[in-house]
Amino acid sequence: MAQGIVKLAPSILSADFAHLGKHVGEAEQAGADRIHVDVMDGHFVPNISMGVPIVESLRRVTRLPLEIHLMITDPDLFLDAFTEAGSDAFLVHWEGNNNLHRTVQRVKALGKRVGVVINPASPASALEEILQDVDQVLVMTVNPGFGHQRFIHTTLPKIRRVRQMIDEIKRGCDLEVDGGIDATTAPLVVDAGANVLVAGSAILNEREGVMAAMKRLRAAVNQKKT
């Protein structure tokens, strides 16, 4: 099981973009630990989403760290622009990266936190050689590209394996999960070893409001931990 406080990272992919600043402000007031920004180019994943202007706008309305999940081809080409826009951390995929070590080192040279992402079908062993160089690992619990997907339960053993690797190789490295996280699945991934939860529709697409949604998610996690 993950140790310490579980962090929540609302994903703005599920937000109403007409009220994006409002939603992010509510998430900050509700105790969010960071804001997760999904960047898609229509090539790496079959969808197109937000870019540098969105990050610039977010930087003006929140003091929370902005972590940028780069689901794009050639992420190295965009690191400078997103850094200038106010990004605090970058998450880059193991899949399709010609030189992952170079990308990770480039992010570190920019003075930003860096994490590596693995898709549901990618093995935990893919992290073995890069784990010592990163600040966090993100295990996708859905296939990347779209929100509102169902949690893939077969990723739970992999989360446990990654937690074991972190404990053996890089203690203090965050283990983040993304995809289908709600009050039902959050306790499962925390029990498997995750300590950072990305949640989109479970927080920003709830009729009851952001504050109540985050309170319910934290309550589910805390009840399982106790």
Amino acid found at 178? D
pTM above 0.85, yes or no: yes
Task: Give the active site residue among 16, 38, 41, 135.
Answer: 38
Task: Specify whether the CB–CB gap between 87 and 55 falls below 8 A.
Answer: yes
Kindly tell me the number of DSSP H helices and DSSP E strands found in the chain: 8, 8
Instruction: Tell me whether residue 38 is one of the annotated catalytic residues.
Output: yes
DSSP 145: T
The one catalytic residue in 174, 178, 182, 191 is 178
Packing angle, helices 20-29 and 210-225, rounded to 10: 40
Contact between 99 and 70 (Cβ < 8 Å)? no
Is position 76 annotated as part of the catalytic site? no
How would you write the pLDDT of the chain (226 residues) with one tens digit per residue?
A: 445 689 999 999 888 888 899 999 999 999 999 999 999 998 888 888 889 999 999 999 999 999 999 999 999 999 999 999 999 999 999 998 989 999 999 999 999 999 999 999 999 999 999 999 999 999 999 998 776 779 999 999 999 999 999 999 999 999 999 999 999 999 999 999 999 999 998 998 777 889 999 999 999 998 866 5
